[in-house]
Chains A and B, each alone.
Chain A
Amino acid sequence: MLKGLTGVRAFFAYSVIFTALVFICCSSENKKSDKVQVDMNSSEQDSLALKGIKAAKQVFYSLPSPLETAMILKRAGAVYSEEILNSADNTSRYNTNKSMALNLGIYSTDLSYASLFDQTQASIRYMTASKKMAEGLGILNAIDNSIIERLEANVNNRDVILDLISETLLNTNSNLEENDRVSVGSIILVGGWVEGLYIAITLAENSKTDNSELINRIIDQKLSLNTVINLLNQNLDNADIKSVLADVNEIKAIYDQVSISVSGVEAIPNSKSGVTTLRSKNVTSVSPEVFTKLKAKVVEIRNKYTY
């Protein structure tokens, strides 16, 4: 079949066939009952097969990262309150994959929140706590000693610190994706999201000034909640995911009584700043009773994760 092909062409042709054979062998070893019959003369099947490959679609559900959550809180007028955070001394409590993943998310949000308020000593403590959780989960090198050293060397440079946090989050997420541990990554994100909601709710409750922006951001979480559920639904074969989803569904049952409607979205470009503004009509409604129920449920679930 490959007569007449020489040099690079022959090498390429043999490589292609070798790769195909390796793949076919591996596949048949894993799933011996799956047999695919290929009609070698059917160009129609070939074209359908190619179309099938091309039609594949990747779908991503992106939750606010711990860094984004902390920024949203600060912009909404949050103040710094270290006593509401999960103590960095609690790391020895977390020994299971689920508890370490949830608390890696929780500590990452606490780290981002402390850093945005220039709380350098707390930031170092939370980075160290995050490192312990990441190591416990076998996410090696996501947060190494050099990151802690760089954090300590840049205590007065918030942008560098935020960039370091961003780097550790990216290292963690990509490491998990690379090693086919997406479910652990989802649990970390949910832990971070619950902590953000807990901080917002606790600060709004304790606030003595106008807390309307914080309350708006708490209501807005109904929109991210759908993303949380879609994200968890992608890995339902994992027992830890199932149990986290059960908790999230309890929060959803309350958020179902909150109404948010966004309509008439319009993009208004600004050629001077280069930043487009998306204008829309936004109507939200939540009763005080529902808000009280939401607060109680979020506090209950967050405390279950940290104790």
Chain B
Amino acid sequence: MKSLAYIAIVSIFLAASLTGGAQCKNFAKKICKQELAPYIHDGNFNAAILTEGEDAELFKTFYAGQEYRISICCEETLPKVEFKVFDVDKKLLYTNASNNYSTSWDFKVEATQQLIIVVKIPSDENNADIPTSGCVAIMFGLKTE
């Protein structure tokens, strides 16, 4: 019975990932894009259905002179999302854990460089049954002159 339940959980995850694309798109457009204001969204779509315990990594080059806002946007069903920003040597530059789990971070770089953004959905230890999953979007806003 326990194994059957696990198989069922796996199938729910996979079914959710098949239908989740449209759900994620609408979520990114309706909710996440608004959170970037007054920065203008760069137009890229980096979103996926994540489950508790999973993480996602994003590699992006940020350019000198441009001011950016990173906004991590997730569905309300998910627990507080952790996001960290590292340089290419894996040096931690920012974590929202030390900023009251803020969902956005404004920054600029003096020299163009690649950064790695890691987003993690922590496991909910109080939830021993079915881990929650939902849409998580990593959005970038650009400050206009």
Contact = CB atoms under 8 A, between A and B. Distances in A.
A25 B41 CA distance: 42
A100 to B, nearest CB: 18
A60 interface: yes
B42 interface: yes
Given A53-B10, A174-B29, A169 B44 contact: yes
A43 B43 CA distance: 45
Contact of A64 (B12, B63, B87): B63
Contacts of A148: none
Q: Is the interface of A mostly helix, strand, loop or mixed?
A: helix
B113 to A, nearest CB: 5
A209 interface: no
Contact of A278 (B6, B24, B110): B110
Contacts, number: 220
Given A19-B12, A170-B29, A57 B55 contact: yes
Interface residues of B, number: 72
A276 B142 contact: no
B43 A67 contact: yes
A62 B41 CA distance: 13
Given A174-B25, A267-B93, A58 B48 contact: yes
A121 interface: no
Contacts of A282: 110-113
Interface string B18-47: 000110110011000100000011111111
Contact of A220 (B12, B47, B112): B112
Interface in B99-122: 105-114
Interface residues of A, number: 76
Contacts of A163: 40-41
Contacts of B87: 262, 265, 280
A191 interface: no
A59 interface: yes
Contact of A23 (B11, B48, B54): B11
A286 interface: no
B88 A267 contact: no
B6 A49 contact: yes
Given A223-B61, A262-B111, A170 B33 contact: yes
Contacts of B9: 50, 53
B44 A62 contact: yes
Interface string A264-282: 0101000000111111111
Nearest to B17: A56
28 contacts: A16-B8, A16-B12, A20-B7, A22-B15, A23-B14, A24-B7, A24-B11, A39-B3, A41-B3, A45-B3, A57-B55, A59-B59, A64-B63, A67-B142, A68-B42, A71-B66, A72-B66, A76-B65, A166-B42, A169-B44, A170-B28, A175-B25, A216-B64, A265-B91, A277-B107, A278-B93, A280-B109, A282-B112
A-B pairs with lowest CB-CB distance, top 8 = A169-B43, A282-B111, A23-B11, A54-B53, A173-B45, A58-B56, A220-B112, A174-B25
